[in-house]
Amino acid sequence: MAWIQTLIDASYFLAALLFILGLKRMSSPRTARGGIVWAGFGMLLAVVATLLLPDLAHRVLIIVAVLIGVAAAWWSGRRVAMTAMPQMVALYNGMGGGAAAAIGASELVSHVQDLAALNGVAVSDNGSLLHAAAAIAPLSPVALVLGVLGALIGSVSFSGSLIAFAKLQGWLDRRFVFPGQRVVNMLVLAAAVVIGVMLATGHLTLALICAFFVLALLFGLLMTLPIGGADMPVVISLYNAFTGLAVAFEGFVLHNEAMIIAGMVVGAAGTLLTQLMAKAMNRSLGNVLFGNFGAAAGASAQAIGGSQKPIEAADAAVMMAYAERVVIVPGYGMAVAQAQHKVWEFAQLLIARGVKVKFAIHPVAGRMPGHMNVLLAEAGVPYDLIADMEDINPEFPATDVALVIGANDVVNPMAKTDPSSPIYGMPILDVAEAKQAIVVKRGKGTGFAGIENALFYADNARMLYGDGQAAAGQLVSELKSLDG
> Which residue ranges make up each domain of the chain?
1-79, 85-290, 313-483
CA–CA separation, 402 and 155 (whole Å):
44
| Residues 233, 167 contacting (CB under 8 angstroms) | no
Q: What pLDDT does residue 278 have?
A: 80
Q: Exposed, middle or buried, 420 (CB in 10 Å: 0-12/13-18/19+)?
A: exposed
108 CB-contact burial (10 Å; exposed 0-12 / middle 13-18 / buried 19+): buried
The pairs formed by 123-131 with CB atoms below 8 angstroms and a separation of 24 or more are: none
Q: How far apart are CA 30 and CA 14, in angstroms?
A: 24
**Secondary structure class of 359 (helix, strand, coil):** strand
**So what's the pLDDT on residue 377?**
85
**Number of C-beta neighbours around residue 78 at 10 A:** 7
Residues forming a β-bridge with 405: 330, 440
pLDDT at 142: 86
Distance, in Å, from the CA atom of 304 to the CA atom of 115, rounded to the nearest integer, reads 68
Task: Say how many CA atoms lie within 13 Å of 291 toward its Cβ.
Answer: 18
- Chain centroid to CA 317: 35
pLDDT per residue rounded down to tens, the chain (484 residues): 677 888 988 999 899 899 889 988 887 777 888 999 999 999 999 999 989 888 888 889 999 999 999 999 889 888 887 777 788 888 999 999 999 999 999 988 887 776 666 565 444 444 443 343 334 445 678 888 999 999 999 999 999 999 989 888 878 866 677 888 889 999 999 999 999 999 988 888 899 999 999 999 999 999 998 887 667 778 888 999 999 999 999 999 988 888 898 899 889 888 888 888 887 777 677 766 665 544 444 444 456 767 889 999 999 999 999 999 999 999 888 888 888 999 999 999 999 999 999 999 998 887 777 788 888 888 889 988 999 899 999 999 999 999 999 888 889 998 888 887 777 888 899 999 999 999 998 876 665 556 788 899 999 999 999 888 999 999 999 999 987 6
Q: Is 394 helix (H, G, I), strand (E, B) or coil?
A: helix
What are the catalytic residues? 409
Span 83-97, pLDDT tens digits: 777 888 889 999 999
Q: At what angle do helices 141-169 and 206-224 cross, to 10 degrees?
A: 40
For residue 370, the model assigns a pLDDT of 79
State which fold the 313-483 domain adopts: Rossmann fold (3.40.50)
Note the pLDDT of residue 236.
86
**Residues 468/406, Cβ–Cβ less than 8 Å:** yes
Do residues 212 and 195 lie in contact, with contact meaning Cβ atoms separated by under 8 Å?
Answer: yes
The span from the first CA to the last CA of the chain, in angstroms, equals: 76
Nearest to 164 by CA among 237, 90, 93: 90
- The H or E element spanning position 360 is strand 356-361
The whole-number pLDDT of residue 246 equals 95
Burial class (CB in 10 A: 0-12, 13-18, 19+), 448: middle
- Strands lying side by side in the sheet with 325-330: 386-388, 356-361, 325-330, 401-405, 436-441, 461-465
Beta-ladder partners of 125: 128
The H helix count followed by the E strand count for the chain is 17, 8
Q: Residue 450: what pLDDT?
A: 63
From residue 24, give the alpha-carbon distance in Å to each of 90, 243, 244, 246: 22, 19, 16, 22
Neighbours of 55 (CB within 10 A): 4
Is pTM, for the whole model, over 0.85? Answer: no
